[in-house]
Amino acid sequence: MPAEQPGLDSMQGLMEWMQGVIVDPRPDDRVEDGESSRAAQWVKPTDNLTSYERVHIYRCQYLIRMRDALKLDYPALARYLKDNRFLALVTAYVQSHPSRHYSLYRLGDNFPEFIARCREQPQRAFCSELARLERAVSQVVKARTGVPLVALPPTESWTFTRLVPMPEMQLLTFFYPVNDYFQSTVDNTPPLNLRPRDSWIAVFRMGFEVARLDMRRHEYRALSALVEGNSLHDTITLATTGPDALDAEEIMACFTRWCSLGLFFEARPLASGSAAAVSDGGDPSADPPRQET
């Protein structure tokens, strides 16, 4: 919306007007048409710049600051799009989702969904999935965590015991190998084949670092069952049946590995008479439908 007309002698009015012009989501030409006369009341021109042009410098810096903030949370996406395309995407995003929080760490909360809806964005399906992965990494970095479980409970208790996941862990499914591209950005190496390929990822903390675990579909189904509150016994039943079945040795190796990675907070008895529903999770088709590119 246009900036409000401030009181002529009010410092608060001046500050509110200045902020309104800087963050105004309208295109520059429309802002200039509406605010040039007001700028002339408040800002002295120079030999080279009009009053509004001096204010416009701060509008430009605002977008650059938004770009830099989003680039910190979405470095792989910024690399993929290159500078001009990333800035154009950020500009459109900030117009639709201006910063409403005192801290910029919340600025990119809606970035993946915005990209998925942006029909003008080339390769938007891949870009939106890459942004979902990067948002998860950013959220895990900032989330509260706890002390992980260091050992599995005795096997005789598994029928009525569930493992409570670490609160910050996220499980994600994708149609594209976005974790490979993210890793190539971390390693500063050329990206690998980016053709569609289903993938299943866990994002979690290991001490002060964020880790990403690439899994096969049946491993993802088993881990999802534990996260959803199923007992260890029921999770084994799910994992060792069906077309993607693991054998007993494989599922035990998964349990041991996940515990060693610190994916669980504690072992907790199931409530008396209760059992969580066993899920067929892990199908990327359960995510939002793939976007046309």
Q: Over the stretch 42-77, which tens digit does the pLDDT of each residue have? A: 888 999 999 888 988 988 888 889 999 999 999 999
Is the predicted pLDDT of residue 165 greater than 80, yes or no? yes
Same-domain check for residues 63 and 175: no
The predicted structure's pLDDT at residue 289: 40
Contact 246, 239 (CB under 8 A): yes
For residue 4, tell me if it sits in a domain: no
Final residue of a structural domain among 107, 140, 173: 140
For residue 187, tell me if it sits in a domain: yes
The predicted structure's pLDDT at residue 284: 52
For residue 29, tell me if it sits in a domain: yes
The predicted structure's pLDDT at residue 4: 52
For residues 2 and 149, give the distance between their C-alpha atoms in angstroms, rounded to a whole number.
Answer: 54
Is the predicted pLDDT of residue 189 greater than 50, yes or no? yes
**Residue 101 structural domain:** 11-140
Give residue 279's pLDDT band: very low, low, confident or very high (50, 70, 90): very low
The predicted structure's pLDDT at residue 7: 57
How many Cβ atoms are within 10 Å of 251's Cβ, its own excluded? 21
Same-domain check for residues 214 and 127: no
Final residue of a structural domain among 140, 159, 175: 140
Q: What is the pLDDT of residues 229-272, one digit of tens each?
A: 999 999 999 999 887 788 989 999 999 999 999 999 999 998 76
Give residue 9's pLDDT band: very low, low, confident or very high (50, 70, 90): low
Q: How many domains does the chain have?
A: 2
